[in-house]
Amino acid sequence: MSESSDEEFDGFSQNEVDAAAQRYNDRLAQIGIGELDVVDNENESENDFSDENEPLVDEAGDRPAEADGWHENFNYYERGLPHIFLPRGNTGPTTVLDPDKEPVDFFSLLFTNAILQYIIQETDRYANKQIRDHPDENKSPWVTPTVEEMKAFLGLCFLMGINVKPDIKSYWSTDVMLETPYFSKVMKRDRYMQIMRYIHFSNSEQAPQPGDPNYSKLYKIESLMNMFTDSMVNQYIPKRQLSVDEVMASPCYGRVMP
């Protein structure tokens, strides 16, 4: 490579490439990973990543899980680095719906009835506790929501994010200038407000307190998050090439620039 910064850079010489590759292989050998195959020219480099050279993986995977448990459920191939892995089986959605299905059908694949039943269970638990502990403040009769009623409640919550009004009661207004008849057709205002008052995603009686080894700031929603994670893992198998936003992978404070 030229020593002058004013001249145009024409690329590294073959000797420089070989020297860099040797240093890299020496480093890999030091940490016990193995050698990297160095290509001779640009054509071989491009072909190395073509579809023709991709390893074939059947549904059962190309290698058994390691005994240490770390590689369980992973199919991986070796191209110098043994821990680069391929997804298990075929990639993409695990459930393929018919083209005539509605968006709510796809949403239901992730927001399952099991999740709804869990929300109902914890909401009912919290409502009964409040009625028992504070009867004077909770005089309205409480009826455990059904799955369909909870779906309606959540649907109205989503709709409020699209049709924004200054307060919740405005959605049930009978003023001709403000009314949104759909809301009153789906659910009465008092029932909506009652479910909103009691809705819960965890057992508050078992919440670990600060100082407890199991204490978590996410406790109130942690179980729900885990159920969503399991649901997403079951419904989609990612490919080997992933693009991960840095905000998802590390703590971020302040404004995130695009």
110 Cβ contact partners less than 8 Å away, ≥ 6 residues apart: 228, 231, 232, 235
pLDDT for the residue 10:
72
pLDDT for the residue 172:
97
Q: Taking a C-beta distance cutoff of 8 angstroms, is the pair 59, 90 a contact?
A: yes
Q: Taking a C-beta distance cutoff of 8 angstroms, is the pair 201, 222 a contact?
A: no
Q: Which two tokens stand for residue 93?
A: 């959605």
Q: What does the pLDDT look like over 127-141, one tens digit per residue?
A: 999 999 999 999 999
pLDDT for the residue 31:
63
DSSP state of 54: S
DSSP 88-141: SSS-EESS---TT--HHHHHHHHS-HHHHHHHHHHHHHHHHHHHHH-GGG--S-
pLDDT for the residue 32:
58
pLDDT for the residue 88:
59
pLDDT for the residue 75:
47
Cα atoms in the Cβ-side hemisphere of radius 13 Å centred on 118 = 17
Please state the pTM of the whole predicted model. 0.62
pLDDT lower than 50: segments of the chain:
2, 4, 35-42, 44-51, 54-66, 75-82
pLDDT for the residue 238:
80
pLDDT for the residue 29:
74
Domain-by-domain residue ranges, the chain?
14-91, 103-240
**Nearest CA among 81, 111, 126 for reference residue 230:** 111
149 vs 187: CA distance, rounded Å:
8
pLDDT for the residue 63:
44
